[in-house]
Amino acid sequence: MLSKTTSLLLALSSLAQAAPRNLAERQTTPPSGLSLTAQLTLADNAVARYNLLKDDSDFIFDWNNPNSAPTADRSSFPALVGTGIAMTVAEVPPCSVASVHIHPRASEILVVTSGRLISEMVTELGVVKADGDPRLIHLELSKNQTTVFPMGTIHGQMNPDCAPASLVAGFNSEDPGTAIAALDFFSMSDEFVVDALGESVDAEEVKRIRGAISRSFVFQVQECKKKCGSGDVAA
């Protein structure tokens, strides 16, 4: 009996000694073959994540680098894994529109840092004007003015001027995502689109519109460019 008890105590002692070492190994040894973002996602805790970010430079995202992504998120800036935030720093060229879009996983707070932006947003069913039509929130934002776009709201921005504007936008998700409203809507089958538009267009017209929609997130408005004139549009 004593022999069995001694063996059990020795076994438990061995496990107790091994546990911290194994935990440390899990916290410092990344799974092989995975991206840094994936390794950080699978890490046991914050200590393990810090141990994976071995270089101080891992905590810098440099928008001065022309090859940088426009948005610092969990993919482009792995140090954000576990923080629940992301950020965009962008210049909006003259006479340009940021396509009407939504962020499916984040609310956005935006500040204009130079120039002027026109912003529009539609929220959800039930938010209506006195006449029952959906409420459109239309804003003109100048330098150091801020607005917010709650998660899932349809919104867009336009620079109506002949000089660039710039903005900084923060998100409460490491992976806010973006869906372009017009592009996604017209990606539905002809039948769905025709029915949604009250049969005011036919399938051929839907195909024509579908082909005309810009695939770019930011595009220029030709009428505005004409107003500015090629010599008046600042680079």
Do 156 and 97 meet the contact criterion of CB atoms below 8 Å apart? yes
5 bridge partner residues: none
Residue 118: strand, helix, or coil: strand
Q: Is the pLDDT of residue 1 over 60?
A: no
Q: In this predicted model, what pLDDT tens digit does every residue of 187-218 receive, in sequence order?
A: 999 999 999 999 999 999 999 999 999 888 88
Section 167-181 average pLDDT: 98
The per-residue pLDDT for 94 is 96
Per-residue confidence band for 41, with pLDDT thresholds at 50, 70 and 90: very high
Domains and CATH numbers, the chain: 18-72 (no CATH), 73-228 (2.60.120.10)
Is the alpha carbon torsion for 193, 199, 200, 204 positive or negative?
positive
The per-residue pLDDT for 229 is 83
Section 178-195 average pLDDT: 95
User: Which residues, other chains included, contact 151 with Cβ-Cβ below 8 Å and sequence gap of 6+?
Assistant: 103, 104, 105, 106, 107
Q: Is the pLDDT of residue 20 over 80?
A: no
Strand order in the sheet with 165-171: 71-72, 86-92, 165-171, 108-114, 146-149
Do 94 and 234 meet the contact criterion of CB atoms below 8 Å apart? yes
- C-alpha distances out from residue 10 to 1, 2, 16, 21, 218, Å: 14, 12, 10, 17, 67
Instruction: Considering only residues 232 and 114, tell me which one the structure prediction assigns the higher pLDDT.
Output: 114
- C-alpha distances out from residue 69 to 61, 75, 133, 188, 199, Å: 9, 10, 38, 29, 41
DSSP 128: B
pLDDT over 70 for what percent of the chain?
Answer: 84
Q: Is the pLDDT of residue 6 over 80?
A: no
The per-residue pLDDT for 216 is 87
The per-residue pLDDT for 26 is 46
Tokens of 160: 């109506």
